[in-house]
Amino acid sequence: MTFWNSHAATLQQARKEYGVPEEIVAAVIGVETIYGAQTGKHRVLDALVTLAFDYPRRAEFFRDELEQYLLLTREQGTDALQLRGSYAGAIGIPQFMPSSYRRYAIDFDGDGKKELLHSPADAIGSVANYLKVFGWEAGQAVVARAQISGAGYQEALAAGIKPGLTLAQMRQLGVTPQAQASGLADDRLAALFVLEGKDGPEYWLGFNNFYVITRYNRSTYYAMSVLQLAEEIRAARNSGSGF
């Protein structure tokens, strides 16, 4: 709430330009760095070099990120030895990897620089731009709880997190959307995923916008934490309370 109150006009402008609600942008930044309070203390160059050459499982990915980082610092005229970030080489308030920084960061405050380390406005605009580029649909559903019956739902789970089955097909597999999805057409694409809740497994239908959040971080738990924080932020904003 404090972040939203401090940057209300910027968040509103990002929603107008990119269609991403204020609470979603604020929640992503909150989950990533607690609104810029924890952007990482590791030297980005060291992190990327270590992962590029001493982490075989994802060496190719981090070698590319190392190249992107060197290009980024050259473009920005910054010292590659000084920049600090996460243990994985993510940078700034929204924790963009170097490739994402170069592709999706925008100058949202109009000062001529794409500054994700110290500019909340650029961070807000860049997160909204990132989600929009990956297909965010303004005003569309994100998730709905689901009930399962029989064994057919296993086929839906195995299909992965990218929406690829219609709600009609989900029903044929024994997956029934709860009330939140009652207004969605039968041809709406969804994916079934399961989370471990305090009372046992929770089954959810994720629509396109949920999948878009997982493009920021591929974990369904991450995406759900963003969504639930966003809901809390929106509720607090509407009630006039703060946290």
Structural domains in the chain plus CATH codes: 35-133 (1.10.8.350)
Question: Is the predicted pLDDT of residue 242 greater than 60, yes or no?
Answer: no
**Of 232, 233, 227, 196, residue with least CA distance to 212:** 227
Mean pLDDT of 86-95: 97
The sign of the torsion formed by the CA atoms of 171, 177, 179, 183 equals negative
Residue 180: per-residue pLDDT: 57
Question: Is the predicted pLDDT of residue 243 greater than 60, yes or no?
Answer: no
**In this structure, are residues 165 and 157 in contact, taking their beta carbons and an 8 Å threshold?**
no
Q: In the structure encoding, which two tokens stand for residue 146, read together? A: 């689901």
- Residues catalogued as catalytic: 32
pLDDT confidence of 197, banded at 50, 70, 90? confident
Residue 147 one-letter amino acid: Q
User: What one-character DSSP code corresponds to residue 58?
Assistant: G
Residue 182: per-residue pLDDT: 62
**In this structure, are residues 205 and 181 in contact, taking their beta carbons and an 8 Å threshold?**
yes
Q: Within 13 Å of residue 217, how many CA atoms lie on the same side as its CB? A: 19
- Between 237 and 208, residue with greater pLDDT: 208
Percent of the chain predicted with pLDDT > 70: 97
Rg (CA), the chain: 19
3-class state of residue 43 by DSSP: strand
| CA–CA distance, 206 with 143 (Å, rounded to integer) | 5
Tally: H helices and E strands in the chain? 11, 7
**In this structure, are residues 89 and 51 in contact, taking their beta carbons and an 8 Å threshold?**
yes
**In this structure, are residues 93 and 117 in contact, taking their beta carbons and an 8 Å threshold?**
yes
pLDDT digit string, tens, across residues 132-181:
999 999 999 999 999 999 999 999 999 999 999 999 999 999 999 986 55
Direct distance between the N- and C-terminal alpha carbons of the chain, in angstroms, rounded to an integer: 6
Residue 241: per-residue pLDDT: 61
Mean pLDDT for the chain overall: 94
| CA–CA distance, 139 with 75 (Å, rounded to integer) | 36
Residue 187: per-residue pLDDT: 93
Judging by DSSP bridges, how do beta strands 165-166 and 84-85 pair with one another?
Answer: unpaired
Least confident of 63-72, 106-115, 176-185: 176-185
User: What one-character DSSP code corresponds to residue 91?
Assistant: B
Record the pTM. Answer: 0.93
Question: Is the predicted pLDDT of residue 231 greater than 90, yes or no?
Answer: yes
Q: In the structure encoding, which two tokens stand for residue 204, read together? A: 């959810």
